[in-house]
Structure 1
Amino acid sequence: MAASGLSWKGFLIRWLAAAVLVFATFNPFGLSYFHWVSAFGEAEGSGDIPLKILIGLLLVAGFGIYFRATWLSLGPMGIALIVAVFAVFIWLLVDYRMLDVETPWVLAFLIQIVLSIVMAVGMSWSHVQRRLSGQVDVDDIEP
């Protein structure tokens, strides 16, 4: 029987999967699906169109799974609250000069980290809510 609930290991796996999805799609370091597809006119990027489409569809499916779970478990207010907490935390770090956002890749990296954390929290929230309140989330199956 599978263990019910959520452990730190379970959350870490969800976050790592979300981070791989986000950073594989685009990252400021130039090694991403976006950079691979945008090199379409170059000699090394002009081939493999079916492979590019297949990987693009897999990324869209991954984002669809994460976004749907996040939207259903947190809702718009929960998502806005988590984003606001991280935005104020980044603001605090910038205000105390612990973080330099003048460099464009730093800001892009932070946005991607926050996006992956929001997606991981969305995938994990039902477990956390069940542990805190004892209530179980159930999706409506009938229209």
Structure 2
Amino acid sequence: MSFFLRWLFAFLLIAATYNPTGWNYIELARAHWDDTKSVVTLAGLILLAGYVIYLRATFRSIGAGGVVFVLALFAALLWVATDFGLISISDPGFATWIAIFAGSLVLGIGMSWSIIRRAISGQVDTDDVEE
């Protein structure tokens, strides 16, 4: 359940930033910048804080190589699904949702990797403490 919640928050973070529906930070910031710069800035900083937390945890736990590997694995799965005719990514809106899902999957795995690794291997990760 904890992985699902971490992934869900990552999905909501990315989808709140941009999605094809028009109800997202980027579109609303463009439309309302002149009216409410303070609110747009505050919302942007809140989103930025979420990204800093997720990206820092992801790169500390799985690194750049892990990010590339998870994305490559997802891309291969997507390739197989399109080859077998299970999905079609010709619709730009659907392709955007797939990209949002892939990005949130990377962030969710990165945020949960220590828990996943401990469950699989029994090994515990710790951070270096500087004194």
Give the alignment's TM-score, normalised by structure 1.
0.86
Amino acid at match of 1:117: L
Output the CA distance in 1 between the equivalents of 2:30 and 2:128: 40
Letter paired with 1:19: F
Alignment of 1:1-143 (within 5 A): 9-40=1-32, 46-142=34-130
Aligned length: 131
CA distance in 2, matches of 1:60, 1:105: 24
SS at match of 1:106: helix
Shift of 1:69: 0.4
Alignment partners' CA distance in 2, 1:19 and 1:71? 17
**Greater helix fraction, Structure 1 or Structure 2:** 2
TM-score by length of 2: 0.93
- Find the residue that maps to 1:87 and give its secondary structure: helix
Shift of 1:110: 0.3
Structure 1: gaps spanning 5 or more residues: 1-8
1:134 to partner: Cα distance: 2.1
How large is the Cα RMSD of the aligned pairs?
1.4
> Could you tell me which amino acid in structure 1 is paired with residue 50 of structure 2?
G
Which residue type is aligned with residue 84 of structure 1? A
Bigger Rg over Cα: 1
| Structure-2 separation of matches of 1:62 and 1:22 | 10
In structure 2, list runs of 5 or more residues that go unmatched.
none
Q: How far has the Cα of 1:132 moved from its partner?
A: 2.0
